[in-house]
Amino acid sequence: MPEFPALESDTKTDVLIIGGGMAGLLTAYALTKAGAEVLLIERDELCGGVTGNTTAKLTAQHGLIYHRIAKQFSWTEARMYWEIQTAAMEKFRQLSERFPCDMETKDAWVYARRPLPEMEREMETLDTLKIPAEYERIVPLPFETAGAIRFPAQAQFHPLKFAAGIAQGLNIRTHTAALSFEGRTVHTNRGTIRAEQIVIATHFPMLNKHGAYFLKLYQDRSYVLALENVKAPDGMYRDAEPGGLSLRNWGKLLLLGGGGHRTGKPSDGWRGLEKAATQYYPLSKEKYRWATQDCMTLDGLPYIGQYGRHTPGVYVATGFNKWGMTSAMTAAAALSDLLTGRQSEYAELFSPQRTILRPQLLRNAAEAVKSLCTFRKPRCPHMGCALQWNPQEHSWDCPCHGSRFTGEGRLLNNPANGDMDLPKKLQ
C-alpha cells in the first residue's frame, strides 16, 4: 500500500472523509473526479481493517436477500437493489482496467445443505424480477447439497491492489485520528480540520449523539482458512444458512470461510473450519488463517446518506452486511451525488432515517441491557458494556457493538475510539 504523511497542522477543506477503507477511498476518488476539494484521514494505515481482511467477492448475489427486500420494502426496490449492485460490480470492472487487481469473472452460488422453502421463494422472486439467475440441482462441491441458485458472470479480485491504485493522487493523511466533533469542525490528534461537508466511513459510525447506530447495528465475526494442496471449486459459494461454509479460490489456494457469530459471544473460532477441511479436503494443508467482522443492519440493507436527522452536511456509509465491496462502490456513487447536489436514485432505499421497527432492534437492545447490567470488568470505553475474553484470538471483545482490544488494551476494532486502560491483573 502507498504511504501518506500524517496531518501537520490545522486545515480546512470542502469535504472531509474519515476512514481509509474501501468505502472511504472510493468516495474520495468519486468526489475528487467530480471536482471537489477532498481530504481523507485514517487513524492507522490505509485498508488496515476490514478491507484488508475481506474475501473480495464482487457480486449482486447477497444470499437470500431479494425475497426479503420485496417483502419488507417492495418489488420495485428489490429490483433496484439488484441494479445498484450490478452497476457497482461493473464500475469495479471498468476501473480494474486502469488499476490492475487480478480481476476474474466467476459465477456466484448460494447453496443449501437441506431442502429450504426460502430457496424456492428466492428463486420465484428472482424470476418475477427478471434477474438472471439459475437454479442448479448439481453443485460442484465436495459435500451433498439440496441445490443452489447461481448468478452467472460475477467477479472476484485483489482488493488491496485495487485500493493501492485508487489511493494514488488522492489527498490523504494517515495516522490522523478524529477524536471529537463540533458541528463540522473535527479535532484530531494532529490538528483541527474545518470542513463544509463530512463523510464518516469508519466501518462502525463513531458519533453516538446522532443516528442511534448503537441500536441499529451490531457486528458479526467470521473466520477464514487458506488451504493449499487442494483443487478449489470454480466459482464463489456460500451457504444459504447462517454459520455455513463459504468457498472461493485464490490462485491455487482455497479460501474456506465460515463460523459467523455475533462479536463478543462464545465461538469455536477456526475449529469448525479445521474440521471441515479435514473432512472434505483431507490432503489439504493450512497456509494462512485470519478473521474479520462486519456491521449488520436491522433489515439487511446498508445505511448510506445523511448521518442523522439533525446533522446537515454530515454523512455516513456503514452496515454493509458482509457485502462490503459492491456496497462500498454503491456508497461512493450515492454520496458523490448527495454531496454535489445531484439527485441520487439510491437515497431513499439506503436512507439512515428509514424505519428501525424490525425484530433485530429488540435483540440489539436486549444484548446491550444484558451487558450493561453485567457487573464485571473490563468495560468497553465506547458505551460501558462488559467485555468478554476471546480465547481464540486472545482479545477483549464487546458483545454490544463489536469493539475489540488486545490483551494489553490496544484498540483493534471500532466503534471505540481509543485504547482501553486495562488493569495490570487483566493483561
Residue 408 lies in a domain: yes
Could you tell me the pLDDT band of residue 422, with boundaries at 50, 70 and 90? confident
Residue 210 lies in a domain: yes
The reported pLDDT for the residue numbered 37 is 98
Residue 182 lies in a domain: yes
CATH, residue 404: 2.102.10.10
Residue 255 lies in a domain: no
pLDDT tens figures, 366-382? 999 999 998 888 999 99
- Do 420 and 363 lie in one domain? The reply is yes
The reported pLDDT for the residue numbered 79 is 97
Average pLDDT, stretch 109-115?
A: 97
Residue 321 lies in a domain: yes
Cell triple for 132 = 438472471
Per the structure, the complete domain to which residue 170 belongs is given by 11-53+161-214+299-339
Residue 156 lies in a domain: no
pLDDT tens figures, 291-332? 999 999 999 999 999 999 999 999 999 999 999 999 999 999
Average pLDDT, stretch 58-78?
A: 97
Could you tell me the pLDDT band of residue 338, with boundaries at 50, 70 and 90? very high
Could you tell me the pLDDT band of residue 157, with boundaries at 50, 70 and 90? very high
CATH, residue 190: 3.50.50.60
- Do 317 and 415 lie in one domain? The reply is no
- Do 312 and 417 lie in one domain? The reply is no
- Do 309 and 204 lie in one domain? The reply is yes
Residue 121 lies in a domain: no
Residue 307 lies in a domain: yes
Structural domains in the chain (count): 2
- Do 202 and 317 lie in one domain? The reply is yes
Last residue of a domain, one of 279, 311, 339: 339
Q: pTM value?
A: 0.95
pLDDT at 426 over 90: no
- Do 318 and 209 lie in one domain? The reply is yes
- Do 364 and 322 lie in one domain? The reply is no
- Do 17 and 45 lie in one domain? The reply is yes
- Do 384 and 332 lie in one domain? The reply is no
- Do 418 and 312 lie in one domain? The reply is no
pLDDT at 127 over 80: yes
Could you tell me the pLDDT band of residue 247, with boundaries at 50, 70 and 90? very high
